[in-house]
Amino acid sequence: QERRREFEANLEKAGLELETEDKTDSKDQKSYFLKIHAPWDVLATYADVLKIKVPFKVSDIPHGRDIPWEWLSHPFRLPEHVMHPQSDYFTYHFDKTKTDFYLINDKETFFPPSTRNRIVFYILARCPYYKEGRKEKDKTGIKRLLSNGTYTAAFPLHDCRYWKRARNAECESERYNLYKHWARFLCFYKEQPLNLIRKYYGEKIGIYFAWLGFYTEMLFFAAVMGLICFVYGVLSYDDNISSKEICDAEIGGSILMCPLCDKKCTFWTLNSTCLSSWVKYFHLMCSFKGTVFFAIFMGIWVTLFLELWKRRQARLEYEWDLVDFEEEQQQLQIRPEFEIKCTNRRLNKITQEMEPYLPITTKCARYCLSAATVIFWISLIIACIIGVIAYRLAVYASFASVIKDPVRKIQLVGRFITPQLATSVTASCINFVTIMVLNFFYERVAIWITDMEIPKTHLEYENRLTTKMFMFQFVNYYSSCFYVAFFKGKFVNYPGDYSYMFGKWTNLRNEECDPGGCLIELSTQLVIIMAGKQLWGNIQEALLPGRHHPENHYSRWEQDHVLQNFSQLGLFYEYLEMGFHHGVHLRHDPPYGLPVCLQ
C-alpha cells in the first residue's frame, strides 16, 4: 500500500490524471482498477523529449497513376477510409514551444493511440515509488512494481468495442474497422490496412504484419511451383524402377540383409523397405528432373524474396518516417534500468550532457558470465542429444529383435512399422519433450542474463536477447535433425567389424540408415518437432484468456484485462517462430510497451 501510494503520488506530480475504481464495482468485487489519463500538456512535453514526429503540412506529392486492368483487383481492395485513415503529411520532430507550426486540429486526437501509450509507458517506466529526499534509485518503474506484487497487471485500454459499432458516434472506430475488414477469417483474401494498423497499434506491429503479408504472398508462388513438380512426379510413377525392384517379391524379397543388431536379430529381406523407398521417391519430387528444377526455382525465389522485401521495407520506412528510427532510438531511448543501475557519469561528446555509463571492467565481467551461461546450456542440449542417441541404439536393437521370422513378420508388419521408423518416432517424441522443457527454462535464463548485462538501449537489449535465443534454439531444435541428416549411418563400418558407441562393451552398435536412406526418419523428426510445437502453441493460445465477454458483465477496463497480455518481449516469439519454422532471417525492431491501466 505504501509503494502504491508513493508511486501514484509521483505519477500525479508528473502530470498524469488518475482515477481509481472501487473494488465493489468490479466483477469479483476484489480488484481495484487505477485508470491513467495523459492530458495535453503531458503529451506535448514528452513528445518533445522523445522527438516524436508529427505532421506540419499536407503532402503535395502526387500519387502514382492508375494501373492498367486495375478493376481486376477490386475484389481484394478495402474502402479508402480504411486503407488510408488519414492524409499524407510532411512531418517533423515535435517542439512544444512551436505548437502553431503543426497541424493541430483537435488536441484529443492529434497524437494517435500508439503514441499516447508510448508516452505513458515512458513515464511509468521511470517514475519512482519512494519519497523525495531518499536515495533509493532501485525503487523505480512499473516493471519492479509488477514483479514484487504491488500491482497485478498493467495494460492499455482499447478504444470502444471491436465486435460492433460503439453507441457513441464520437468514439474512435479504428478498432471496429480493423476487426470488420482485417481480423476476421473471411477477410483473408483482402489487402491489409497497414496504415490503420500502424495508426492504432504503432509502427512495430505495422511492420510485422507488412512482412507477414508479403511473405504469405511470396509463398503462394513457391507452393504453386511445388505442386506442379509433385504432380509431374506422380505422373512419372512408372519411371521409378528402383522402388519397383525393391518392392518386388522375387527381386527385393530374395535379397537377404545382415542382422540389425548383434544378438537375437535375424536376417531380413530387402523388400521390407518398400515403403521407405517410395516415400523417399515422393520426397524428392518423384523424379530427378523435378528435384533439380524445383531447387533452381527456390534459389531464385529466395533471392527475389529478400530483394523485394528490402524494397517494400524501404518504402514503408519512407512513408512512415522511420528512415532514422534506429539512430534516434540509440540516442534517446536509454533504458530506465540502465539509468538506475549505472551510477557513474561521463560527458557525451555529441549531446554535451552528462550521461550514465558502465565501466569496461564491469562490462567484461558481466559478458563473461553471460557467455559461460549460454555455453553451459548449449552443452546441456548436446548431452541430452547424446542421451537420445543412446536411447535410439538400445531401442533400435530391441525393436529389431522382435522380428523373429524374417518372412512372415516383415510381410505383415515390416512394410508399415520398421525398426527404424518405430525408433525414430519414439525418439522424436522424447526429443520434442526435451526441447520444450529446455526452452521453458532457458527463456527465463536468457532474460535474466540479458538483464544482468544492463544494455543501454531497447534496441541493444533486443539484439542481445535475440542472439542468445537464436543460438540456443538453433542448437535445441536442429541438433537432432543434423544428427539424422549428416551423421547417422556414417560410422557403422562393415559386417564383422562394426563400430560401437562408447566402445564395444556397451553393445550399442552405431545405427544404420534404411537402405532407402535416412530421409523418412528425418522427415518424421521434423514433422513431430515442428507440428508438435505448432500444436502446443495453438493449445496455449486457445486456453489463454482472450475473448470478449458480454458487455453487461464487464466494464471497459475489465474486458481489456482478460485479453492476452502484450508481454515484455512483444513480437519476439512471433518473429522467432517464423525464423525457425521457415528459415528466414529477420531484423527485429525495438518494442514499445503499452500499459495504460493498473490493477
Which string of DSSP letters, residue by residue, matches 181-219? Answer: IIISGGGTTSPP-HHHHHHHH-HHHHHHHHHHHHHHHHH
**Rounded CA separation 582/219 (Å):** 10
And the C-alpha cell for 250?
522375387
Mean pLDDT value across residues 252-270: 73
The pLDDT confidence band at residue 480, using thresholds 50, 70 and 90, is: confident
How crowded is residue 521: how many other Cβ atoms within 10 Å of its Cβ? 27
pLDDT in tens, 6-37: 999 999 999 999 999 888 878 778 889 999 99
Question: Which has the minimum average pLDDT: 119-133, 362-376, 543-557?
Answer: 543-557
Mean pLDDT value across residues 144-169: 82
**Percent of the chain having pLDDT more than 90?**
17
What's the pLDDT score for residue 410? Answer: 41
What's the pLDDT score for residue 192? Answer: 93
The total number of residues written for the chain in this structure = 599
pTM of the model: 0.78
**Rounded CA separation 429/507 (Å):** 24
Strand partners, 334: 457
The pLDDT confidence band at residue 358, using thresholds 50, 70 and 90, is: confident
Q: Is the pLDDT of residue 486 over 70?
A: yes
| Distance from the first to the final alpha carbon of the chain | 13
**Rounded CA separation 531/425 (Å):** 13
The H or E element that residue 4 is part of is helix 2-13
Pairing of strands 33-37, 17-21: antiparallel
pLDDT in tens, 541-586: 666 655 545 555 578 888 888 887 776 666 777 777 776 555 433 3
Mean pLDDT value across residues 266-294: 68
How crowded is residue 58: how many other Cβ atoms within 10 Å of its Cβ? 10
Task: DSSP letter for 321, please.
Answer: T
> Who has greater pLDDT, 254 or 208?
208
What's the pLDDT score for residue 541? Answer: 67
What's the pLDDT score for residue 579? Answer: 65
What's the pLDDT score for residue 406? Answer: 43
| Of the candidates 323, 436, 431, 325, the residue with the CA atom closest to the CA atom of residue 385 | 431
Mean pLDDT value across residues 351-380: 86
What's the pLDDT score for residue 65? Answer: 55
Mean pLDDT value across residues 146-168: 82
Question: Which has the minimum average pLDDT: 364-373, 378-387, 413-422, 448-457?
Answer: 413-422
Question: Which has the minimum average pLDDT: 28-42, 386-400, 406-420?
Answer: 406-420
Mean model confidence pLDDT for the chain? 78
Question: Which has the minimum average pLDDT: 14-18, 290-294, 464-468?
Answer: 290-294
What's the pLDDT score for residue 35? Answer: 93
What's the pLDDT score for residue 220? Answer: 92
Contact 16, 36 (CB under 8 A): yes
What's the pLDDT score for residue 238? Answer: 65
> Who has greater pLDDT, 194 or 162?
194
The pLDDT confidence band at residue 312, using thresholds 50, 70 and 90, is: very high
Q: Is the pLDDT of residue 511 over 70?
A: yes
**Rounded CA separation 491/183 (Å):** 53
> Who has greater pLDDT, 430 or 349?
430
* Identity of the highest mean pLDDT range in 256-270, 369-383, 423-437, 448-462: 369-383
Q: Is the pLDDT of residue 403 over 60?
A: no
Q: Is the pLDDT of residue 201 over 70?
A: yes
Q: Is the pLDDT of residue 514 over 50?
A: yes
Exposed/middle/buried for residue 525 (C-beta within 10 Å: 0-12, 13-18, 19+): buried
